[in-house]
Structure 1
Amino acid sequence: MQYRKFKPFGNISALSLGGGGLGQIWGETSREQVLETIEIALDQGINHLDVAPMYGHGEAESVVGEALRGKSTDGLYVTTKCQIGTPRGHKVYEKINASLTDSLKLLDIERVSLFLMHSQLIEDDYELFKYNQFREKNATTLSCYFNEVIPAFERLKQEGKIGDWGIGGIGQKEALLAALDHECRPAAVQCIVNPLNSAGAISYVSENFDPKIILQKCQHKDIPILAIRAVQAGALTSSMDRQPHSSGFDAEDFEDYVRAAPFRRLADQWGESPASLAHRYALSVSKVASVILGVKNTIELKECLQAERAERLSADQMATIQSLFAT
């Protein structure tokens, strides 16, 4: 396992174990499979676990807590999140602290290494492209972020409950760029990194969100980057092994799968699976500290571990992949 510089931790494994698969939101699995997946990840040198309350309604945090119980956590880093939204009545600290307290209880630890805002940033008068009726729950306004969220995060640091804090690199472009230019910048940003340059179903704030703009801003500002959505919710794998949600929420992910057909053909020509190539792509992007995996079982994890051991893609190979979806 390669380790890379990452300011909040010092060094981080090139792969992080994400909580989506552990929380059973990326297809059917079992707690037994998930526990074995965590054990293998730790044995193979992964030193960062990234979870959230939203992943299986606490299941990801709960199963990580079970997996770590009785084990030494020296050199292991745990990240969790809070969907802050824009609470009324200036009760941001209370909401964040309550969420964190619940997470720490499920994880059975006293402190998380990194705490992330899970809601998407918007300017104060901005209306969401979709689901605007859930604006207060799913989006955090810039004034709330600057005036209340940042002070709340800093207070949690002083109280010793978190090591540092960061944000997700998805939302309204203008709001995200303002946050990254602010004097109090996040210690890390989770940036979408995949050949499709797509956020898929979670891009409900902006109609034409461009993840690459946020990635490039973080690269330019030297803000530590954690790559997410390397396989874009399954669109960059051999097959979508889950059924579309009945609400139609994830329709964009299935549309991306159809759009990714040229990528699957290229992977076949190069003699590897699409998922492996997609992870090698994310691992080869400049200044990415770690790629967060959404695996749900040992088979998927082992494929990612093999991809991490392979050579990084050359500039020509990266250009070939990027040309598939150039507009």
Structure 2
Amino acid sequence: MDYIQIPAIAEKVSRIALGTWVMGGWMWGGIDEKEAIQAIIKAVEGGINIIDTAPIYGFGKAEEIVGKALRLIGKSHPIVIATKFGLEWNQFGEIRRNSSPTRIKQEIEDSLRRLGLSVIDIYQVHWPDSKVPFEQTAECLLRLKEQGKIRAIGVSNFSTKQMELFKKAAPIHTNQPPYNLFEREIEKELLPYCIKEGIATLTYGVLCRGLLTGKFRPDSTFPNGDLRKIDPKFQGENFLRYLQAVEKFRPIAARYGKSLAQFAACWALMQPGVSVVLWGARRPSQIEEAFGATGWRLAQEDLRMIDKILTETIPQPIGPEFMAPIEG
């Protein structure tokens, strides 16, 4: 496992982080809690020492599972915990952005309780909330840092302009944007900005909701409530084009003796400005592959071939905008 230093965190962190969105069950077809806990333990035993979660993942469920796993692991393995705030929900499952100081004060206490911690290593604004001045949110996080409740301040899904406003009141140590072979918008401005400003990136969606695992076929279907049911990439002709690209990637991965998922993660980790990639898993078997995603590199000719495949197969890429929660 490869490791990297990120701002405001004393320990070096693994370049693969365990992502726990799927452990919440919501939007991913349910969860077996015992299996999820075992997946966390297996990840940590294999050298992954950073876990990313959020209250919205299963409406508290993912954080609770992480907390239970941490209690079982104990002090034997130092683990960096990243969680988020800024999304609220009601009894109907309707989600809205809310990064007000009142909401933050409530969320930090709820997250600390669910996780069983006294301090959160990386605390991230989950989505930018235009109704609350970014400086106000930043000031609140800076106070939490001064109080010793958080170590690093992070944002997620922020533009460079939004980060500039935020930084007027507090530093940004980490940024968590979507990034994978099929969703590369952040290469234009965001990654260069993070390099320039010394901001670490914890990129999510490295396997593009499973598309880059190679397990789907043209007749694959998804149940109601599954996120992929509403993802344009998984619909009609779009789906066929993306599957075609995946099949063209397969022989490249095979030349290195790697799975498609390992190939996709390795590619992402090789891109300038990418510090850590999140690998989502809810079963121990799903985390085993992650251990083979670091420690090797793709050749330059293969990187050029990958870009050629993407240009020819998917001339008009579809972004992840469909995931954005409503404001207000």
TM-score by length of 1: 0.79
Provide the C-alpha distance between the structure 1 equivalents of 2:97 and 2:22, rounded to a whole number of angstroms.
28
Describe how 1:78-117 pairs up with structure 2 within 5 A: 78-83=81-86, 92-117=100-125
How high is the sequence identity, in percent, across the aligned residues? 23
Distance 1:15 1:57, change over 3 A: same
Which residue matches 2:204?
228
Structure 2 Cα separation of the partners of residues 22 and 290 of structure 1: 20
Report the Cα distance in structure 2 between the residues aligned to 1:36 and 1:215, rounded to whole angstroms. Answer: 34
Counterparts of 1:145 and 1:62, CA distance in 2: 29
State the shift of 1:32 in Å. Answer: 1.4
**1:181: Cα distance to partner?**
7.1
Secondary structure, counterpart of 2:84 in structure 1 = strand
| Alignment-derived partner of residue 21 in structure 1 | 22
Kept in 2: contact 1:19–1:49 (CA 8 A): yes
Q: Is the 8 A contact 2:191 2:274 kept in 1?
A: no
2:306 equivalent to 1:321: yes
1:211 aligns with 2:190: no
> Is 1:301 the counterpart of 2:287 in the alignment?
yes
- Secondary structure at the counterpart of residue 294 of structure 2: helix
Post-superposition CA distance 1:71-92 (Å, at most 9, x none) = 11763111110125665xxx82
The more displaced of 173-182 and 312-321 is 173-182
Secondary structure of 1:278's counterpart equals helix
The residue identity in structure 2 corresponding to 1:217 is Y
Alpha-carbon distance between aligned partners in 2 of 1:238 and 1:168, rounded to the nearest angstrom: 27
- Specify the alignment match of 2:134 in structure 1: 145
Matched-pair contact (CA < 8 Å) for 1:192–1:227: yes
Which residue does the alignment assign to 1:45?
47
Q: Which runs of 5+ in 2 are unaligned?
A: 88-95, 316-328
RMSD of Structure 2 on Structure 1 (CA) = 2.6
How many residue pairs match? The answer is 290
Contact 1:110 1:161 in 2 (8 A): yes
Question: What is the CA deviation profile of residues 194-228 of structure 1, one whole-angstrom value per residue up to 9, with x for unaligned ones?
Answer: 11126xxxxxxxxxxx3323223212332111121
What are the superposed Cα offsets for residues 298-326 of structure 1, whole Å, 9 maximum, x if unpaired?
A: 222111212224x1223332232223223
Matched, 1:186 2:172: yes
Q: Which moved more, 1:297-306 or 1:317-326?
A: 317-326
CA contact (8 A) 2:7 2:152 kept: no
List per-residue Cα deviations over 1:172-211 (Å, max 9, x = no partner).
Answer: x46446448757441100122211126xxxxxxxxxxx33
Cα contact 1:283–1:312 (8 A) shared by 2: no
Aligned twin of 2:321: none
Match of 2:155 in 1: 167
Closer, same or farther: CA 176–23 of 1 in aligned 2, 3 Å: same
Partner residue of 1:269?
Answer: 251
* Cα distance change on mapping 1:184 and 1:319 into 2, 3 Å: farther
Cα displacement string for residues 135-176 of structure 1 (whole angstroms, at most 9, x for unaligned residues):
xxxxx1286112x10100001111111112110135xx4644
Name the CA distance, whole Å, in 1 between partners of 2:45 and 2:7.
24
Rate the CA distance shift 1:298–1:105 in 2: closer, same or farther, 3 A.
Answer: same
Cα distance in 2, alignment partners of residues 34 and 285 from structure 1: 30
Tell me if 1:243 matches 2:222. yes
Separation (CA, whole Å) in 2 of partners of 1:86 and 1:52: 14
Work out the CA distance in 2 between the residues paired with 1:79 and 1:315. Answer: 33
| Moved beyond 6 Å, runs of 4+ | none
Structure 1 86/69 Cα, relative in aligned 2: closer, same or farther at 3 Å?
closer
Structure-2 separation of matches of 1:191 and 1:86? 17
Looking at structure 2, the residues matched to 259 and 8 of structure 1 have their Cα atoms a distance apart, in angstroms, of 42
What does 1:66-81 align with in structure 2 at a 5 Å threshold? 66-69=68-71, 71-72=74-75, 75-81=78-84
The change in CA–CA distance for 1:174 and 1:78 in structure 2 (over 3 A counts) is: closer
Q: State the one-letter code of the partner of 2:230.
A: D
Q: Distance in 2 between matches of 1:54 and 1:44?
A: 27
TM-fit CA distance, 1:246: 5.4
2-structure distance, mates of 1:73, 1:321: 41
SS, match of residue 69 in structure 1: helix
Cα displacement (A) at 1:44? 0.9
CA distance in 2, matches of 1:68, 1:149: 29
SS in 2 for 1:32: helix
SS in 1 for 2:213: coil
